[in-house]
Structure 1
Amino acid sequence: MHMVATPNRRMQQVLKASMGLTFAYVLATFIFGLKAHSLALISEAGHNLSDLLAIVLSYVAVYFQGRPANDTKTFGYQRAGVLAAFVNALTLVVLSIWIFITAIERLRTPVAVQPDVMMIVAAGGVLMNGTVAALLWRFSGDVNIRSVFLHMLGDTLSTAAVIVGGAVILFTGISWVDPVLSLLIALMILWSSLGILRETLNILLEGTPRNMQLSAVRDAMATVPGVLDVHDLHVWSLGESSHALASHVTVREMPASECASILTEINDRLRKLFHITHTTIQFETSGCETTHGCSSPPEPEAVGAHDHGHSH
């Protein structure tokens, strides 16, 4: 446990620093966007707000990963980050729609913008986003942090586009470049938000985890020697990367010790092939009328619930 704690603490420190930098830039882009009448800068504030939310969610996820389950939260707090991500994604969809409507109005009725302010603030954004991306790069092996790193990298590019837009307005005087840039940024927000909505909604509705085929899980279990049939199979996500499984498995009538070895083999396969660490497997026998999974009354752990996630 000591090997995990220190990187987690460092990860939290980096995420806190990233939150501070991003929050300062969100305020700056919004305030200067209003002053410069630049919808592109205001859109950037919205876009970077999505980054801030992503960093906050990652921080919450890292924090809650260390919280143990209890009698009222038997699965722990793994879905807190997923629920927050779902709500935040909905908010970002509304934000992107507002930017779309405002940008179309700006195209119809152009407003003079201050390209020099646009360029200065956007240059600060490139520096800020680049710094945060560099801080997060050290921990990008973690899928949670990697998603935020890619988010920040993408924003570095979109902020650079605002600088280009400012330069175009400065040298040509074409003001419609500003609302067009804001439309492109709104599309980026909408695209990333819809992806988060799909993923989080699937977890909240206890759908089969993304990139996992139920038929492949069934085949892996059914091909274990001694297994005759696998049915009533359910696989769902507890959190973004924590998966659980419940199933009925039919075996021939056999001693309890053989049942236990079959259960161990099933769980080993599920862990290695699909990263499923929490399983509840009910054994049924073929060709006998006993209510137990095996011919002799087995120990509950051998044929009932088995949880690798809590074993040591």
Structure 2
Amino acid sequence: MNPAPIRWRLTDLQPRKGDLRADALEGLSARPRTLPSKYFYDATGSRLFEQITRQPEYYPTRIETAMLQQHAPAIARAIGPDVHLVEYGSGSGRKTELLLEGLDGVVAYTPVEISREALLASVERLARRFPAVEMLPVCADFTTAVPLPEPARPARSRLLFFPGSTLGNFERAEAVGLLQSMRATMGAGGAALVGIDLDKDPAVIEAAYNDAAGVTAAFTLNLLHRLNRELGADFDVGGFQHRARYCTRRRRIETDLVSLREQHASIAGQRFDFAQGEAIRVEYSHKYTDADFAAMCAEAGLRVAQAWNDADDWFGLRLLRAA
């Protein structure tokens, strides 16, 4: 009698608490002060982000999901059968489900996600939904080099999936570096499917990052709660305010935590003094034109093989291959 198959196996490269401490101390010591947005995604942050995607002002998830449904046959034709699907920043995996349904015979799925709780929850759900697909989750920071597990059955090619316009969270040089890494990871004959948020009316963009229900504000402020919980910091979270503004010149949302008064906080015995109105930069979210994005891809040794936009040109999907 054959043993029951292993449904999935986890590669756990989750960043250590020391990484969070070092990055927080470095960022808060800089001028202007910063905190890396990748640390938004602990268990609480991941739950709050899922709530953000359901807010009426937050258009990217709604539009991208509809586009994946609409263009699934064209994407499947372009990719071909028997792929190893690799996703950066997989979150809940809801969009991935559409790809797993639409592609022809996915061999394996490797989500790379920094939040262990979100990763395990999504893989458990997808393993039940797609029992024929080998699940090879990796808990890691995808912005660093991540060794990918090989599926038991060889795949014809790799498809890297990078939805949600997460690429826009990186400044240009970092984004180009990430695209170069993706080019190396996809290998010969591979491809990447990337979601990009397109430049549009600033009022529409700003509303998406300042929802009326205040979920995005809670998500941003949770970063300070996390420092308190995990590092024993003593931030008065109520003394800071979420602020997200669109910089037209740089075509990006700039998200800050703004000190509402003179105050101080300590982490690992190091004290930080904040003036009233002083900001901690916690995230960028760049918006692209076709020319911007094509130029970045070219710099990374990639080309846009196929492109899809929604009817209003608010959001785009781009299929990338080696130049």
Interval of TM-score (by shorter of Structure 1 and Structure 2): under 0.3
The one of the two structures with greater contact order (alpha-carbon pairs below 8 A, sep at least 6) is: 2
Q: Greater Rg, structure 1 or structure 2?
A: 1
Structure whose residues are more often helix by fraction = 1
